[in-house]
Amino acid sequence: MNNMVIPEHIAIIMDGNGRWAKKRGLERTEGHKVGAEVFRKICSYAREIGVKHITFYAFSTENWKRSKNEVDKIMELFRRYLDEMEERQGENEEAGYNVRFLGAKEGLPEDIVSMINVVESNSCDKDKMFVNIAVNYGGRDEIVHSVKKIAEKIKNGELSPEDITEDMISDGLYTAGQPDPDLIIRPSGEYRLSNFLIWQAAYAEFYYDDVLWPDFTPADLDRAIEAYNHRNRRFGAV
Ligand code: IPE
Ligand code: IPE
Ligand code: MG
């Protein structure tokens, strides 16, 4: 990664777990298990190369449509990860991870919400790398959530509609205070956002890859960053 500009914020749609498993004649949930390991690996590699903010799309507001068995197994994987984060709190502190969960906590099992709260508060004063994990996350849901906060202020007479700004909407999002993603990576050969960071992606660079998430390696991340280095970002200027 010598001489490469490292994007300040990389966001990844961890897709293709089910197809990876199917190709091997395994249950879809086996793909999620391997995908969860890859998530850990890519997260620590990103830290090594100096990524400051990284966001992983782990479970969408639409993913509840899947079978109960699949959803339960995915929730079990979150529990395992959260447990591990607590167990390894010393290590994580040293690594300087600031971990945040993006998404509606209300819809998640209560025990998971409590574990999330512990992990977030244990790491909230760290700043080596901001790790966002999007769980029960939907971009539209997030915007509605932000707009409701603004509406509340208007109702209380603290704000008038003509004074609403883009920053106010950004400040009400789960990513409040963090920069917008510079690079959004989607493996598995799909070319869509699937309700991921739809507000924040306004000027993001997109990188698509046919590799399925469980096969994704640090070398794939390097390739995405290299491609990013060849982009010419204009932000509407000439
Ligand atoms: C992504 O992999 C993980 C989640 C959405 C939870 P998928 O489960 O969507 O895998 P494919 O797209 O079916 O292969
Ligand atoms: C997006 O993948 C959500 C996550 C990776 C968590 P999906 O597999 O749910 O997206 P679609 O259904 O292919 O658009
Ligand atoms: Mg998918």
Residue 155 CB-half CA count within 13 A: 6
Ligand found nearest the CA of 103: 2
- Share the mean pLDDT of the chain: 98
DSSP summary character for residue 210: S
pLDDT for the residue numbered 193: 98
Q: What are phi and psi of 182, to 5 degrees?
A: -90, -35
User: What is the C-alpha separation between 102 and 17, in angstroms, rounded?
Assistant: 21
Taking the centre of ligand 2 as the mean of its atom positions, its distance from the CA of residue 94, in whole angstroms, is 33
Give yes or no: 63 in active site. Answer: yes
Q: Which residues contact 168 (CB under 8 A, 6 or more apart)?
A: 146, 150
Judge if the beta carbon of residue 13 lies within 6 A of ligand 2. Answer: yes
DSSP string across 189-200: T----TTSSTTG
Supply 203's token pair. Answer: 């000027």
Burial class, 96, CB count within 10 angstroms (exposed 0-12 / middle 13-18 / buried 19+):
middle
Which atom of ligand 1 lies at the shortest distance from residue 60's CA? 5
Q: Please give the model's pTM, rounded to 2 decimal places.
A: 0.98
Asked if 91 and 15 count as a contact pair (C-beta separation under 8 A), the reply is no
Supply 157's token pair. Answer: 């007479």
Q: Ligand 2 pocket test: pick from 22, 59, 60 the residue with the most ligand atoms within 8 Å of its Cβ.
A: 60
- Considering the candidates 15, 141, 209, 220, report the single residue annotated as catalytic: 15
DSSP summary character for residue 11: E
Closest to 60 in 3D by CA, of 119, 141, 132, 143: 141
Ion ligand 3 — residues with CB < 5 Å: 15
Q: Count Cβ atoms below 10 Å from residue 45 Cβ, excluding itself.
A: 16
Give yes or no: 156 in active site. Answer: no
Q: Which residues of the chain carry a pLDDT beneath 50?
A: none
User: What is the C-alpha separation between 103 and 144, in angstroms, rounded?
Assistant: 12
In the chain, the amino acid numbered 128 is K
- Considering the candidates 63, 122, 195, 229, report the single residue annotated as catalytic: 63
Using one digit for the tens of pLDDT, what is the confidence trace for 23-76?
999 999 999 999 999 999 999 999 999 999 999 999 999 999 999 999 999 999
Taking the centre of ligand 2 as the mean of its atom positions, its distance from the CA of residue 114, in whole angstroms, is 26
Taking the centre of ligand 3 as the mean of its atom positions, its distance from the CA of residue 2, in whole angstroms, is 33
Q: Which residues contact 201 (CB under 8 A, 6 or more apart)?
A: 11, 180, 181, 184, 193
Which atom of ligand 2 lies at the shortest distance from residue 13's CA? 5
Judge if the beta carbon of residue 56 lies within 6 A of ligand 2. Answer: no
